[in-house]
Structure 1
Amino acid sequence: MLFVTPILKAIFGDQLQVYNMLSAGIVMGIMILPLISSMSEDALSAVPRSLREAAYAMGATKVETSLQVVVPAALSGIGAALIVGISRAVGETMIVAVASGSGPNFSFNPLDAAETMTGHIARISGGDLSYNSIDYTSLFAIAMMLFLLTLVLNLISQWVVSRFRERYE
């Protein structure tokens, strides 16, 4: 909020609110990018050297070898890295709670303030809640929704890995 928002304010001017979804999205992307790139790099380096050498022996260049041999062989790991990154973004609380605002607004305009599900949980759970109130039960409904979303993303990740995994022996 103190670094990204002033830069965006210089670009967009008065259209940009102090709390906005664009700042939260940029910071989230910067935070998740190392996770995805590290997992993708591990998947690419796990491709056996013999496949690369076989492509070179057939006359392929380094670019052709990378794009036609190594990336397809590591596709399951790259796909799993993307899905794990999305799961991490869905579960993030504090970045979105601070940068995107604390009001229960719904908007498709990234320059407006909004509140995510995790941000809502963080904001509502900080105070005294009476048992069986709408706020109290909404915490459990939102938490269950986030759990199910994360579960579905993890199941998709497992399916992608098992579907596209290539074994070399």
Structure 2
Amino acid sequence: MKDKTIDYILRATWQAVARMYNEEASKYDASMATGFALLSIDKEGGTPSTSLGPKMGMEATSLTRTLKSMEEKGLIIRKKNPVDGRGVLIYLTDFGKEKRELSKNTVLKFNETVKQTISAEKLQHFIEVAETINELIQDKNIFTHTSVSELAEQTEKTENDTTKIDSHQ
């Protein structure tokens, strides 16, 4: 992936992972979003619908569609929150718990395959890099104090550094 930007690599990799999960999930009349929701709902105590979206990083409209589909398939039931009557708790049905195990095993299989292929050290570096990128974004440290000319200077410096590294190899 030479000369590809970091965001391109992240996006392309995530799209490949999502496609892989969706292909696997389609064998069971499901989707990656359904599997992720199954794994995000507390198996015994249920989960408030309002906390599910942020937990999954999904927009409300997408989550609503996913939950409606899951309810139609008998994977979940919705009940009024006994503590806050305005809220709704999402519970897994017995069928939902079965499918949750299937989703869990699918994720574990992916993780195990990656761990068998990539060294623990490289995986640790990957995790550290991903966490740092997330922190930079959450702390709004990407664009806040950088002008276009500073970005151009940084790009030129990076290109010069890359040229130096390439010439030593």
TM-score of the superposed pair, with normalisation by structure 1: 0.27
Give the structure, 1 or 2, with the largest relative contact order (CA under 8 Å, sep 6 or more).
1
Report the TM-score when normalising by structure 2. Answer: 0.27
Normalized per residue, the structure richer in strand is 2
